[in-house]
Amino acid sequence: MIKSTFASILALLLLNSCGKKEESQPVEIISLAPVPSSAVSQFSGKRAFDHIKKLTDFGPRPPESEGYRKSLAYLEKELHKLGWKTKRSSFQSQTPIGPINFTNLIARYSPNTEPDWSISPPFIIGGHLDTKRYPTKIFLGVNDSGSSTGVMLEMARVLSENGGAALNVEFVFFDGEEAILEDMVFRKDGLYGSTNYAQQLRKRRTLPALGIVIDLVGDPEVNLLIGRDSNPAAIAQTQRAVKTLQLEKEVTLAPGSILDDHVPLIVFANLPVLHLIGDFEKMPYWHKEGDTLDKISPGALENTGKLTLQILHQITQRKSKSSEQEN
C-alpha cells in the first residue's frame, strides 16, 4: 500500500466507475440477521495473536511459496472447524517478472450445505494473506499481513457462535496484494488478488452492500486510520463505533488516500468500502525484516476486531429495526 493524494485517487475512481451501469445488477435482496452487541465483547485479541504466531511459523508467504500453501491449508482447517466453507480462487496474472499463479481464499458460513457462491451476503471483509517477496532476505510480515489474517479468523469464530450473524459475511483472504517489485503501481504491479476478486464479483447475481478491508492492524504504537476514500456513510458508522468503544485516541481519519486492496473493489465492482489500516508511515520496520511478533499486541488486534464487529452490529441492528417497522 502507498499514500497518494485524495484528489488523484478520487478522480481515478470516478473515471473508472463510468460505463458500469449497463452491467448486470443485483436481482435478489438478502435479508440481514442482526449481529448482536454481545458479539463485540466476545472477540479475543489473544486468540487472534495465536493465529498470527502459527502463520509466522510457516515462514514468509509470498505468492507460490511453500509458506503460502501451508498458510492456506491452516486457514481452511481452522475455518472448517467453525462451520465455514472455503473456496480457493486461483488465477494467473502477468507481473513485471512474468506470469505468477495466485490464489485467493473465500469463506462463507454454511455448516450443513455448500453455499451458493453466485450470490453475495451483505458484507465482504477482506485482507491480504501474502507477504512481500524478497529473494535475498527473510520477511515474515507479522503485521503486514499476519495481523489482518489473525483478526479475520477470530471474527469468523465470534460470528459463527452467534447464529445467523455469520450469514451476513463473506471473508476473502487476498493473494498478491504486495508489489512484485519495490513499489506498488495500480494496474501494473500489486493488488493482483483484490483486482481478480472484484472482477469476479461483478459476475455474481447479487452484490454486497459494503466491503471492509483491513491491513496492518496489530501495532499498539500507531493509530488505526480510517481511509479517506471510504464510503461516507461507512466513515460515519465507524466514527460512531469509535466513540461507543472509547477508541478516540487509537483510531483517526487518515490525512489522505492510501492505495490498498479496497481500491479494486471500488474501481472494478462499484462497491462501497470501508478501509481500516495502521499508519504504516510511522512503522520503521514496514517492509523490513523487523516486522516480527514483538511489533504487535493482542490489545491492538482486539481493538480492530471489536471495532469491525461494532460497525456490523450498528448497521444490521438498524436494518433489522427498519424491517420490523415496515412489517
Neighbours of 206 (CB within 10 A): 19
Q: What is the pLDDT of residue 163?
A: 77
Q: Poorest-confidence range of 43-47, 91-95, 162-166?
A: 162-166
308 with 155: CB under 8 angstroms?
yes
Residue 25 has pLDDT above 60, yes or no: no
Q: How high is the pLDDT of residue 243?
A: 98
Binning pLDDT at 50, 70 and 90, where does residue 319 land?
low
Q: How confident is the model at residue 2 (pLDDT cuts 50, 70, 90)?
A: low
Q: How many domains does the chain have?
A: 1
In a domain, 177, yes or no: yes
* pLDDT (0 to 100) of residue 106: 99
Instruction: Please check the confidence at residue 27 and state whether its pLDDT lies above 80.
Output: no
Does residue 24 carry a pLDDT above 90?
no
Q: Look up the domain containing 164 and give its range.
A: 2-15+44-322
Instruction: Identify whether the C-beta of residue 124 lies closer than 8 Å to the C-beta of residue 131.
Output: no
Give the burial class of 7: count Cβ atoms within 10 A of its Cβ; 0-12 exposed, 13-18 middle, 19 or more buried.
exposed
**Residue range 161-177: mean pLDDT, rounded:** 95
Q: How far is CA 56 from CA 25, 212, 229, in A?
A: 41, 24, 31
- What would the grid cell of residue 266 be? 471500488
pLDDT in tens, 103-129: 999 999 999 999 999 999 999 999 999
Dig out the grid coordinates for 224 from the structure: 488505526
Is residue 33 domain-resident? Answer: no
3-state secondary structure the chain: CEEECHHHHHHHHHHHHCCCCCCCCCCCCCCCCCCCCHHHHHCCHHHHHHHHHHHHHCCCCCCCCHHHHHHHHHHHHHHHHCCEEEEEEEEEEEECCEEEEEEEEEEEECCCCCCCCCCCCCEEEEEECCCCCCCCCCCCCHHHHHHHHHHHHHHHHHHHCCHHHHHHEEEEEECCCCCCCCCCECCCECCHHHHHHHHHHCCCCCCCCEEEEEECCCCCCCCEEECCCCCHHHHHHHHHHHHHCCCCCCEEECCCEEECCHHHHHHHHCCCEEEEEECHHHCCCCCCCCCCHHHCCHHHHHHHHHHHHHHHHHHHHHHHHHHHHHC
Evaluate whether residue 135 is within a structural domain. Answer: yes
Q: What is the mean pLDDT of residues 55-84?
A: 98
Measured in whole angstroms, the distance separating CA 16 from the mean position of its chain's CA atoms is 22
CA dihedral 123, 129, 133, 138 (to 10 degrees): 150
Burial tier of 313 (Cβ tally within 10 Å: 0-12, 13-18, 19+) = buried
Yes or no: say if 206 and 122 are a contact pair by the CB < 8 Å rule.
Answer: no
Residue 305 falls within a domain, yes or no? yes
The CATH number covering residue 89 comes to 3.40.630.10
Average pLDDT of every residue of the chain: 90
Q: What pLDDT score does 236 carry? A: 97
Which cell goes with 197? 476478486
In this prediction, residues 215-228 reach a mean pLDDT of 98
Q: Is the pLDDT at 26 greater than 50, yes or no?
A: no
Q: Tally the C-alpha atoms within 13 A of residue 22's C-alpha that lie toward its C-beta.
A: 2
* Percent share of the chain, pLDDT over 90: 85
Is residue 190 assigned to a domain?
yes
Query: pLDDT at residue 327 above 80?
Result: no
At residue 259, does pLDDT exceed 60? yes
Average pLDDT estimate for 84-91: 98
pLDDT in tens, 206-221: 999 999 999 999 999 9
Q: What is the maximum span of the chain, computed from C-alpha positions, in angstroms? A: 62
Residue 13 has pLDDT above 90, yes or no: no
* Mean pLDDT, rounded, for 120-139: 97
Reported residue count of the chain is 327
For residue 221, give the nearest of 175, 268, 279 by alpha carbon.
279
Q: Is 20 part of any domain?
A: no
In a domain, 27, yes or no: no
What pLDDT sits at residue 33?
84
pLDDT average, residue stretch 159-173: 95
**Residue 1's pLDDT is what?**
65
Grade residue 8 by pLDDT with cuts at 50, 70 and 90: very low
Instruction: Tell me what pLDDT residue 321 has.
Output: 55
Query: Which has more pLDDT, 276 or 24?
Result: 276
Neighbour tally for 327: CB within 10 Å: 5
